[in-house]
Structure 1
């Protein structure tokens, strides 16, 4: 074969790799991951990477929480309004020079944020609830109704299990777009979990320290083999660069309704299933 076996296959070249998208419908709650694994098995060669976003893994595991069932207390209301909207939106955010998009979103936080903060408080505690956004890696953007998805349970074991199903000499990695930072050669993240070599579960302290450190990009949560942090970050960031180039990219709850053309109301499973999703990509060295 010529062109590294990519005849009649959709791909993009990024930083020395061919990036081959795995396109599916919406991976539904408690649904199978076969829509990802079956095409990956057919397309992958020994030495390839399969990089999967964390949310479809979480949704397939049924790790959804309906925030409408949580009644926010005074602590959650303080975190949503005073702390996140005003202190972070108008003081700490600009002071620490966080993303302008994040500051804009913080300043227009809806009242439903109080229930979200209650969820974070109950499930992860103050360390994560004090973070102004993306607390504990909870994803608001790819879940139906008033539900949110938590991080996957045991992503390393999931990656190893999926690698066995593919039954080739490949590497399977599960990633999150939340950042890994580096300071004085030390890697860390606010997320509750990450691959070995990245200090995890730093919460708001990691987020604040991260603004004063080097942002290394997306975080590898779990991998099917022992991998260096540098290799993991490189592969995760190439996959993320491809994802950001898609018209269907939905990094925030605000972009979801725009992409799905939903004007108000809640997003349904049918809405999410109305577009083509790219929950995973294959990376092949050029």
Structure 2
């Protein structure tokens, strides 16, 4: 085997790989039922032809009113077993270490509060058992960036939403851009196949695998956040690179509230007491413009 040739080829690929820059789109808190057009208004003066406007799924879900108050649900025997036995003990103490999931995730599973029983009930009702069996981040349902005991479900028809936003931008300010809606939940690759545990994803990523996708992902590699919808099709590898660039920006931005733990740290207390006014008191970055340079 010619290792020198292989190394040279990798160097050539690195040089020829496109480079991207990320430009944040800042807004206030997008409230339930409030139009997502505010993202367009804040982005349009920054956009250029050929850009990607990558939008986080939670503000779209909240805008659509895709939120649920978990305080209105009563846990069942099944949801209690899934929270107290399956997630907290079997995954927290046995399967988690075996599958080498993140140490922080294991610690959080071992400290699951009683409210997790109700959360599992919501997942069972909206997405079914295979998603409720996932120990954490079930079905991409988000506990962050929502007030009180609410959670946000996945957005409704994210591909259509992405197309609607792209058309509005093409009309005013007349920019031809690609709009993508992403979820921070991972996509994986194993044996040349791309997949995610999430119920929905763009073409090229097999979806709706629930806990089975999560387990199979332990044997594959994480290839980045999951694109849920896109306004026009692109090569799936390029799509994933664009999504990862946007995600990298969010991870570097200390003010972003990406997880429920970020929200707890920001507001220093019980997240069930977080109000819309508190959420509106901090700057939000619902979208990132990704540009090839």
Inter-partner Cα distance in structure 1 for 2:266 and 2:21: 26
Q: Are 1:70 and 2:73 an aligned pair?
A: yes
Residues 38-89 of structure 1 deviation map (CA, whole Å, 9 limit, x = unaligned): 1211211101110000000000000001101100010000000000000000
Q: Are 1:137 and 2:147 an aligned pair?
A: no
Post-superposition offset of 1:280: 0.3
Inter-partner Cα distance in structure 1 for 2:118 and 2:252: 32
Q: Paired residue for 2:284, among 267, 270, 277?
A: 277
Post-superposition offset of 1:106: 0.6
Q: Paired residue for 1:268, among 266, 270, 275?
A: 275
Q: Are 1:183 and 2:190 an aligned pair?
A: yes
User: Could you list the runs of 5+ residues in structure 2 that have no partner in the other structure?
Assistant: 1-17
Q: Secondary structure at the match of 2:45?
A: helix
Q: If the length of structure 1 is used for normalisation, what is the TM-score? A: 0.93
Post-superposition offset of 1:263: 5.4
Q: Which residue of 1 aligns with 2:207?
A: 200
Q: Paired residue for 2:266, among 259, 267, 278?
A: 259
Q: Secondary structure at the match of 1:42?
A: coil
Post-superposition offset of 1:36: 0.8
Q: Are 1:53 and 2:56 an aligned pair?
A: yes
Inter-partner Cα distance in structure 2 for 1:39 and 1:276: 13
Inter-partner Cα distance in structure 2 for 1:265 and 1:189: 29
- Answer whether contact 1:260 1:274 (CA < 8 A) is retained: no
Q: Paired residue for 1:27, among 23, 30, 34?
A: 30
* Residue 198 to residue 21, structure 1, CA distance change in 2 (3 Å): same
Q: Which residue of 1 aligns with 2:7?
A: none
Q: Are 1:221 and 2:228 an aligned pair?
A: yes
Post-superposition offset of 1:31: 0.5
- Answer whether contact 1:191 1:203 (CA < 8 A) is retained: yes
Q: Which residue of 2 aligns with 1:99?
A: 102
Post-superposition offset of 1:217: 1.2
Post-superposition offset of 1:265: 4.7
- Answer whether contact 1:40 1:166 (CA < 8 A) is retained: no
Inter-partner Cα distance in structure 1 for 2:270 and 2:145: 16
Q: Secondary structure at the match of 2:26?
A: strand
Higher-Rg structure is 2
Q: Which residue of 1 aligns with 2:155?
A: 152
Q: Are 1:231 and 2:238 an aligned pair?
A: yes
Inter-partner Cα distance in structure 2 for 1:19 and 1:238: 7
Post-superposition offset of 1:21: 0.4
Q: If the length of structure 2 is used for normalisation, what is the TM-score? A: 0.91
Inter-partner Cα distance in structure 2 for 1:264 and 1:135: 19
- Cα root mean square deviation, aligned: 1.1
- Answer whether contact 2:27 2:38 (CA < 8 A) is retained: yes
Post-superposition offset of 1:248: 1.6
* Residue 181 to residue 132, structure 1, CA distance change in 2 (3 Å): same
User: Would you say how many aligned residue pairs link Structure 1 and Structure 2?
Assistant: 272
Post-superposition offset of 1:264: 6.3
